[in-house]
A and B are shown apart, each in its own frame.
Chain A
Amino acid sequence: MSASERGDAARVLVRNASKWYGNVVAVNDISFDLGPGVTGLLGPNGAGKTTLLRLIAGFLEPSSGDVEVNGQGSWRNPRIYREVGIVPEREDLFPFLTGREFVRLNAVLHELPFVDAATEQAVEAVDLTARQDERIGTYSKGMRQRIKVAGALVHDPSVLLLDEPFNGMDPTQRLKMIDLLREDASRGRVIVFSTHILEELHHLAEDVLVVVSGRLAASGNFREIRRLMTDRPHTFTVTATDNRRLASALMGETSVSGVQLDDGHMVVKAAGRSAFATALPRVAKEHDIGLREVTPADESLESVFNYLVDA
Chain B
Amino acid sequence: MNPRVELALAALTWRLLLGRRRWLALLLCNGLPPFVGWLFVLEQADVGATDALNFTGVLMATMVLSVLLPLASLIFGAMALGQEIEDGTLAYSLAKPTARWRLVVTKVFVAVGATLVTILPGIWMAGWIVLDDPAHPIVRGFSVGVTVAAVLYCTGFLALSLFTRRALILGLLYVIGWEGSLSRLFAGTRTLSVREYATSLSESIAGGELPGLLSSPLAPSTAVWMSLAAFGVMMTLAITRLRSLELVEEI
Point out residues on A near B: beta carbons under 8 Å. Answer: 21, 50, 53-54, 57, 59-61, 76, 78-82, 84-86, 88-90, 92-94, 96-97, 105-106, 108-111, 151, 161, 163
Contacts and interface: CB of A to CB of B under 8 A. Distances in A.
A86 B97 CA distance: 13
Contacts of A84: 95
Interface stretch (B11-19, B38-46, B126-134, B153-161): B11-19
Contacts of A85: 95
Given A79-B97, A81-B95, A59 B247 contact: yes
B12 A53 contact: no
Which residue, of A108, A109, A110, has the highest number of chain B Cβ atoms within 10 A? Answer: A109
Contacts of A111: 2, 4-5, 97
Which residue, of B95, B97, B98, has the highest number of chain A Cβ atoms within 10 A? Answer: B95
Contact of A109 (B91, B93, B246, B251): B93
Given A109-B8, A163-B251, A59 B246 contact: yes
Contacts of B96: 78, 81, 106, 109-110
B36 interface: no
Interface in B193-251: 243-244, 246-251
B170 interface: no
Contact of A89 (B100, B243, B244, B250): B250
Contact of B251 (A53, A80, A96, A108): A53
A163 B38 CA distance: 57
A282 B41 CA distance: 100
Nearest to B15: A96
Main secondary structure of the interface of A (DSSP, over half): mixed
B205 to A, nearest CB: 39
Given A78-B99, A111-B2, A59 B251 contact: yes
Contacts of A110: 96-97
B186 interface: no
B250 A76 contact: no
A214 to B, nearest CB: 15
Closest 6 CB pairs of A and B: A59-B247, A90-B88, A109-B96, A108-B8, A92-B87, A88-B251
B28 to A, nearest CB: 22
Interface string B47-88: 000000000000000000000000000000000000000011
Contacts of A78: 94, 96-100
Contacts of B16: 94
Given A76-B243, A78-B98, A86-B95, A94 B89 contact: yes
Contacts of B93: 109
Contact of A151 (B4, B92, B94): B92
Interface residues of B, number: 30
B9 interface: yes
A88 B248 contact: no
Contacts of A90: 87-88, 91, 249-251
A59 B94 contact: yes
Contacts of A96: 15, 19
Nearest to B91: A88
Given A78-B94, A78-B100, A97-B15, 8 more contacts: A21-B248, A76-B244, A81-B96, A92-B89, A109-B9, A109-B96, A110-B97, A111-B4
B32 to A, nearest CB: 27
Nearest to B94: A59
Which residue, of B4, B15, B93, B96, has the highest number of chain A Cβ atoms within 10 A? Answer: B96
Contacts of B94: 59, 78
Contacts of B19: 96
A57 B251 contact: yes
A61 B88 CA distance: 18
Nearest to B88: A90
B114 to A, nearest CB: 16
Contacts of B95: 57, 59, 81, 84-86
Contacts of A54: 247, 251
A31 B2 CA distance: 38
